[in-house]
Amino acid sequence: MSNNLRFKTSKFIDETYRVSFKFNNKTYFGFKGDTLASALLANGIHLVGRSFKYHRPRGIMTSGSEEPNAIIQLHDNSSRTEPNVRATEVEIYEGLVASSQNCWPSVNFDIGGINNLLSPILPAGFYYKTFMWPASFWEKYEYFIRKSAGLGKSPKVADPDIYEHKYIHCDVLVIGAGISGIMAAKMAAKNGFKTLLVDEKSYLGGSSIYDNSEFSKINNQIISSWLEKEINEISKLENLEIKTRTSVAAFHGYNFLLARENLTDHLPINQRENKVRQRLLKIRAKKVITATGSIERPLIFDNNDRPGIMLSSAIKRYIDLYGVACGENNILFTNNDTAYETAMSLIQRGIKINAIIDNREQIDSKISYEVEKNNIKIYKGYTVVDTYGYRRINKISIMKLSKDGQTVIGDKTKLNCDCLGVSGGWTPAVHLFTQSGGKLKFREEDQVFIPNVYPSDQISIGSCNGDFGLEEIIKNTLSSIKKFLDIDNSEYKTVETISGLNQSKRNIWLLPSDKSIGKTKSFVDYQNDATAKDIKLALREGFRSIEHVKRYTTTGMGTDQGKLGNMHALGIISETAGTKMGEHGTTTFRPPYTPLTFGTIVGRNVGEFFDIFRRTPIHDWHVANNAEFENVGQWKRAWYYPKDNENMHQAVQRESKAARDSAGILDASTLGKIDIQGTDASEFLNRVYTNAWSKLAIGKCRYGLMLNEDGMVYDDGVTTRLGENHYIMTTTTGGAANVLGKLEDYLQTEWPELDVYLSSVTDHFATISVCGPNSKKIVSKVVPDLDLSDEKFPHMSFKNSKIDNIKCRIMRISFTGEHSYEINIQANFGKSVWEKCMEAGKDFNITPYGTETMHLLRAEKGFIIVGQDTDATLTPIDLQMDWIVSKKKYDFIGKRSLYRSDTIREDRKQLVGLLTENPEEVLEEGAQIVADIKKSPIEMLGHVTSSYYSPNLKKSIALGVVKGGKNMLGQKLIIPMENKNINVTVADPVFLDKEGERLNAKL
Amino acid sequence: MFLINCPFCGEREQSEFKAGGEAHIVRPKQPTELSDDEWAEYLFMRKNIKGVQFERWNHVHGCRKWFNMVRDTSNDQIKAVYKMGEKPPVK
Ligand SMILES: [Zn+2]
């Protein structure tokens, strides 16, 4: 550590606690309390990264979350690695490892730096202009662009840390713990409001907590002393919760805010075990007080980006708070008084200031006179025109500004320095206010945007509201909080202030140079390398809206969202276009204010909780019996059960054959089940299904098709009449929740007069389907008391029964075309009944089959699957299911739409069967269907919706939708594939047992 | 995120609700009597107002009741909520 850079005068640094850390593979030392930035600066390191486009050397520019340059990779090569972290926000701890990003092979020698020499050919919109043609080349360009650009590296393995979410409800949320935030929190809490105060830093007090200046005082005390007493007082308030290291990321409507609370990032890795790393706070506040302060503006001049060029306020923070001198030979460059506070902090510690360059001709404030008294040369009415030094600034040249500030005059003077502090005045941090939907107004006098119209119960105070003078801040905070909270007692008696600063400023957005603009590199957005020249080019090329200029030049589009330079971009645009500030709009700041980790966003919803899944009551049996699973909605459904070394095809062929030859068993528990009761239940079903329901006898089942009001098929399933006023409806697995919602909607909003009650009972029952020629023998063993004769228990009927004294419902319904039964039993008995069926079917080779075999078996019968063979563009007529649409019913959902001019077209896509010329050839689902491949363009007639090799028919079968397909039976069509054309014939969609002999066979 | 005052449950987070499009569109009692154009008007035509809009909402992760809301879409201010079948309390 170069000792001459560390001034052991700060109480925020624990000099007895040395911390070692690694940066770019070299070990350094800092003290507890340092940030990575302050520790690096104490070691004399400014160069920490390379810029995005030109790979120019870049240094630490700020001391806070607005940092555009000092963006580093933390914990490189570990599971905790994190890119794009601001070195100015990282608190160091023993063992910290960090490295520069966006440079190769090293930050000191970077090959990409050649882009800097090529910059004349890398203007604004370069990527758009160059890499757009030919379009097919983009993939190749992208590879190189990504490689050379690369903003950090993403981790390769799972994040070992724990994250969580927490809801907070409070009366008053105060964001920012500077002078006005502290005062507001005290006033709120003392007046009985449940208050939460958050600040992104590890300490309270903002930049005033290290303000030890003799020139500014509150009640005759130096500001830091006064503030410390205030903090001490509020930390004891019961009504007030204080969270430091907590950054508000988003301010949404209705005072809903998201904040990230950092809990362990400042601790050595070995102390983080089993602790929550970051917490996402979801805050709902009745009232919000925004006291986020302001961000110092840089100045825009040629080569204003070299390492060693920093915000003047950052230099002050580093020396006052961390005891670190950023340079040994400093120059300050300013257009306002605040740089003189920095000067005084340096002077008091005997740190050399070579000169102060001030844009203003007249400077009249106590503090500036005091600086002058210390024999510091002040160049009044001057500007910096250029800087020198590759890896660190070593010189500047200055010239006199013309009266109007638009040109430079006279001779050029060169001055030496190793650090240049710049101050262009202050920009209120209105990001959160605008995120919440607030409207800004432009204040001409000092060229700032300030809050104007509040969209919710909130207020901005302090410098984020455009109050910059100490007296103004305190006076306005007191009066506006009293009004905002509607309180009489402000908790403050008279607060007297003295300030040595004057608010005068000479604002010049783009400082003039002796060079032509084309020869300058005056950076407006440091992170994205957007220059004043780029912005002017965009305007010349016709861009006007700030949102367009922003995208074209990439100004403000980095991870810092242009916190430093956006104002200058706006200023340069309006100056160049000769318009008023604000006329081009202001860019929208989007959440998050500073980047959030993915961990914080997902919280505990990782691993199996990322997207929770539903298991059937028989799930464990499927797992134990080697099932592969398929996701259907949120369900895990058994897909197929491979035996030995079977692949999916082999397993499905075996399962399908067994189901038709002897017996198959399927877990159908996922089917949606809705219990429907009430005196109008039959009428209700009449209205929601296309077919008639009033005459369905008790104990009978019926298949129903449900449409949308536009006539398109929505869902299907079998509904059973359990009693006079009692039905159980089944829905598709994926459609269950939506069907219930739709039925509730009609009941509540269109037909409230109907006496009908709906309950979802999907999870209440396990459903086991046993099918095949031996199903009757098997079920008779499982339910011995039940008479299974066709006379007593015909197809499409239902019986109540008992298995081992447990009540069950048995339906004789079939989705395979085989004789089959569906056993519904209380869910927790599902697995044992399934095992009973397996045991009973042992002698009949009962074969469990999954969803794939189910799909194959139903396709052999031409049964549709809603969502696979349909896609919300098909009517029942299109599906050749005219038989299920009642002609007699006056109305049902979707009826009117079935004879709209569009739905009665003959050439609509209609469901057909498809048989391949080569019976071994299985079509691809989704493949296009055409008739003529010679005509160009080839007309697409439809596509394949389902396709299988049927082991029972010993040939390939498929379903598809084809324009006018209904009238094309026997016609030849073509399925063009990548390297061949497949000939198919349009067929009846029912491939197997059209007469229903299998279903009705006497068993 | 809105804070919605369900007429049955009180104030709840927006994440518990589902929006259901324009309110006060009554399903025709005799659809078969309507021309294609009249039916299409009911079926497809919806307003999309910048300003005060009448909407249907469902407390889907709560009481599952449908209700109506008057919302200014330009600033997301909710002017009123009221039960199905009730007249809007504001214009
Ligand atoms: Zn409710």
Q: Which residue has the higher pLDDT, B55 or A588?
A: B55
A837 contacts A778 by C-beta, under 8 angstroms: yes
DSSP structure string for A431-492: HHHHHTTPEEEEETTTTEEEEEE-SSSEEE-GGGGT--SHHHHHHHHHHHHHHHHT-S--S-
Least confident residue range of A100-104, A766-770, A909-913: A100-104
Q: Which residues of A touch B60 (CB under 8 A)?
A: 741
User: For residue B56, which residues of chain A lie inside 8 Å, CB to CB?
Assistant: 749
Q: What confidence category does residue A301 fall into, taking pLDDT thresholds of 50, 70 and 90?
A: very high
Residues A416 and A434 in one domain: no
Distance from CA of A444 to the nearest CA of B (A): 27
Contact at CB, A748 and B66, closer than 8 angstroms: yes
Contacts of A750 in chain B (CB under 8 A): 26-27
Cβ <8 Å between B66 and A741: no
Whole-number average pLDDT of chain B? 95
Total residues belonging to chain B: 91
B1 contacts A254? CB cut-off 8 A: yes
Q: Is residue A896 part of a domain?
A: no
Return the sign of the alpha-carbon dihedral for residues A136, A140, A143, A148.
negative
Q: Which two tokens stand for residue A120?
A: 């004349």
Backbone angles phi, psi at A523, to 5 degrees: -80, 130
Cβ of A896 within 8 Å of Cβ of B39? The answer is yes
Q: Report whether pLDDT(A478) > 50.
A: yes
- The reply to whether residue B39 touches residue A895, judged by beta carbons under 8 angstroms, is no
Q: Which of A870, A955, A868 is nearest to A910 (CA)?
A: A870
Q: Are residues A835 and A940 in the same domain?
A: no
Q: How far is the CA of B10 from the centre of ligand 1 (A)?
A: 7
Which of A252, A896, A900, A904 is the mutation pick for testing B, counting most B CBs within 10 A? Answer: A896
Give the distance from residue A758's alpha carbon to the nearest chain B alpha carbon, in angstroms: 11
Query: Domain boundary at A567, A597, A627, which?
Result: A597
Give pLDDT, residue A254: 95
Are A108 and A226 within one domain? no
Residues paired with residue A949 on neighbouring β-strands, in sequence order = A956
Q: Which long-range contacts (CB under 8 A, 24 or more apart) does A127-130 make?
A: A128/A552
A684 and A715 share one domain:
yes
Task: Let me know if residue A446 belongs to a domain.
Answer: yes
pLDDT tier at A608 (50, 70, 90 boundaries)? Answer: confident
For the cut 70, the answer to whether the pLDDT of residue B10 exceeds it is yes
Q: Which two tokens stand for residue B30?
A: 């005799």
Chain A contact present for B48, CB below 8 A: no
Does B41 contact A at CB distance below 8 Å? no
Which residues, in sequence order, are CB contacts of A562 under 8 Å at separation 6+? Answer: A68, A525, A527, A528, A555, A556, A569, A587
Asked if B69 and B78 touch (Cβ cutoff 8 Å), the reply is yes
The least confident of A310-319, A563-572, A909-918 is: A563-572
The reply to whether residue B66 touches residue A710, judged by beta carbons under 8 angstroms, is no
Ligand 1 centroid from CA B9, angstroms: 4
Check whether residue A287 and residue A356 sit in a common domain.
no
CB nearest B32 (choices: A253, A750, A890): A890
pLDDT at A798: 97
**Cβ distance of A254 and B32 shorter than 8 Å:** no
Show Cβ contacts of residue A385 under 8 Å, excluding neighbours closer than 6 positions: A301, A302, A397, A398, A399, A408, A412, A511, A512, A513, A514, A515
From A200-204, A308-312, A586-590, A930-934, the region with the lowest mean pLDDT: A586-590
The shortest C-alpha distance from A898 to chain B (Å) reads 11
Chain A nearest-CA distance from B7, in A, is 14
Q: Which of A748, A750, A892, A895 to mutate to test the interface with B (most CBs of B within 10 A)?
A: A748
Backbone angles phi, psi at A544, to 5 degrees: -125, -50
| Mean predicted confidence (pLDDT) in A814-827 | 97
How far does B28 lie from chain A, in Å, by closest CA? 10
Do A303 and A286 lie in one domain? The reply is: no
Confidence of residue A130 (pLDDT cuts 50, 70, 90): low
- Tell me the CB-side half-sphere exposure of residue B61, using CA atoms within 13 A: 9
Question: CB of B36 within 8 Å of any CB in chain A?
Answer: yes
CATH of the domain at A289: 3.50.50.60
Q: What pLDDT is recorded for position A153?
A: 83
Contacts of A156 (CB under 8 A, 6+ apart): none
What pLDDT, on a 0 to 100 scale, did the predictor assign at position A1? 42
Cα A748–Cα A749–Cα A754 angle in degrees, nearest 5:
55
pLDDT at A489: 82
Query: Is B31's Cβ below 8 Å from some Cβ in A?
Result: yes
Q: Does the distance separating the beta carbons of A749 and B36 come in below 8 Å?
A: no
Least-confidence region, from A138-142, A169-173, A253-257, A308-312: A138-142
Q: Residue A583: pLDDT band by 50, 70, 90 thresholds?
A: confident
Q: Quick one: A366 and A328 in the same domain?
A: yes
Mean pLDDT of A777-783: 97
Give the distance (Å) from ligand 1 centre to CA of residue B7: 7
Reported as a pLDDT band with limits 50, 70 and 90, residue A138 is: low
CB within 8 Å: A900 and B75: no
Q: Which residues of A touch B8 (CB under 8 A)?
A: none
SS (H, E, C) chain B: CCEEEECCCEEEEHHHCEEEEECCCCCCCCHHHCCHHHHHHHHHCCCCCCCEEEEEEECCCCCCCEEEEEEECCCCEEEEEEECCCCCCCC
Q: CATH number, domain at A579?
A: 1.10.10
* Residue to substitute from B76, B78, B82, B86, interface A, most A β-carbons within 10 A: B76
pLDDT for res A161: 95
Cβ of A748 within 8 Å of Cβ of B84? The answer is yes
Looking up residue A701, the CATH number of its domain turns out to be: 3.30.1360.120
- When pLDDT is cut at 50, 70 and 90, the band that residue A54 belongs to is confident
Residue A351 lies in a domain: yes
CA distance A900 to chain B (A): 6
Contact B20 A745 (CB under 8 A): yes
| Dihedral angle sign, alpha carbons of residues A88, A94, A96, A97 | positive
If asked whether residues A810 and A695 sit together in one domain, one would say yes
Laid out side by side, the sheet with A765-771 consists of A797-803, A806-812, A820-826, A765-771, A664-667, A847-848
Alpha carbon of B30: minimum distance to chain A alpha carbons (Å): 8
Q: Are residues A410 and A438 part of one domain?
A: no
Contacts of B29 (CB under 8 A, 6+ apart): none
CB contact under 8 A, B39 and A897: yes
Q: What domain range includes position A580?
A: 509-597
Q: pLDDT digits over A618-653, tens only? A: 999 999 999 999 999 999 999 999 999 999 999 999
Are A226 and A205 contacting, i.e. CB atoms less than 8 angstroms apart? Answer: no
- pLDDT class of A67 with cuts at 50, 70, 90: very high
The confidence band for A125, taking pLDDT boundaries of 50, 70 and 90, is low
The Cα–Cα gap between A40 and A60 comes to: 9
* Cβ–Cβ contact B82 with A under 8 A: no
User: A interface toward B at CB cutoff 8 Å?
Assistant: 252-254, 256, 284, 437, 455, 709-710, 741, 744-745, 748-750, 752, 890-891, 895-897, 900-901
Shared-domain flag, residues A412 and A560: no
CA distance A227 to A233: 10
Of B31, B84, B85, the CB nearest to A891: B31
Task: Report CB contact under 8 Å: B39, A900.
Answer: yes
Q: Find out whether A959 and A911 touch, Cβ atoms under 8 Å.
A: yes
- B64 contacts in chain A (CB < 8 Å): 744
User: Average pLDDT over chain A, rounded to whole?
Assistant: 93
Q: Report if residue A654 sits inside a domain.
A: no
CB-CB neighbors (< 8 A) of B27 in chain A: 709, 750
* Dist. CA B83 → ligand 1 center (Å): 11
Phi and psi at residue A455, to the nearest 5°: -85, -10
Please give the structure tokens belonging to residue A290: 């925004």
Which residues of chain B have a CB within 8 Å of the CB of A741? 58, 60
Task: Give A942-989 pLDDT, tens digit per residue.
Answer: 999 999 999 999 999 999 999 999 999 999 999 999 999 999 999 999
Query: Is the pLDDT confidence value at A449 over 70?
Result: yes
Nearest to A507 by CA among A683, A335, A630, A665: A335
Please provide residue A188's backbone torsions phi and psi, each rounded to the nearest 5 degrees. -70, -50
**Per-residue pLDDT averaged across A223-233, rounded?**
97
- Among the candidates A571, A597, A623, a domain finishes at A597
Contact B32 A752 (CB under 8 A): no
How far is ligand 1, taken at its centre, from the CA of residue B75, in Å?
24
For residues A812 and A790, state if they share a domain: yes
Among candidate residues A467, A498, A529, the one where a domain is terminated: A498
Name the closest residue on chain B to residue A709, using Cα atoms: B43
Residues of B in contact with A897 (CB under 8 A): 39, 43
First to last CA, chain B: 24
Query: Which residue in B2, B3, B36 is closest to A900 by CB distance?
Result: B36
Q: What is the pLDDT of residues A696-714, one digit of tens each?
A: 999 999 999 999 999 999 9
Nearest chain A residue to B32 by CA: give it: A896
Is the model's pLDDT at B28 over the cut of 70? yes
Span A106-114, average pLDDT: 67
Residues of B in contact with A283 (CB under 8 A): none
Surface-to-core class of residue A938, CB atoms within 10 Å of its CB (0-12 exposed, 13-18 middle, 19+ buried): middle
A895 with B32: Cβ contact below 8 A: yes
Query: A252, B1: Cβ pair inside 8 Å?
Result: yes
Q: Is B1 on the interface with A (CB under 8 A)?
A: yes
| Other beta carbons within 10 Å of A550 | 25
**Can you tell me the distance from the alpha carbon of A507 to that of A567, in angstroms, rounded to the nearest whole number?**
11
Does domain B3-83 sit in CATH 3.30.2270.10? yes
| Minimal Cβ distance to B43: which of A709, A741, A749 | A709
Split into its structural domains, chain A has a count of 6
| Strand-strand pairing, A635-640 and A628-632 | antiparallel
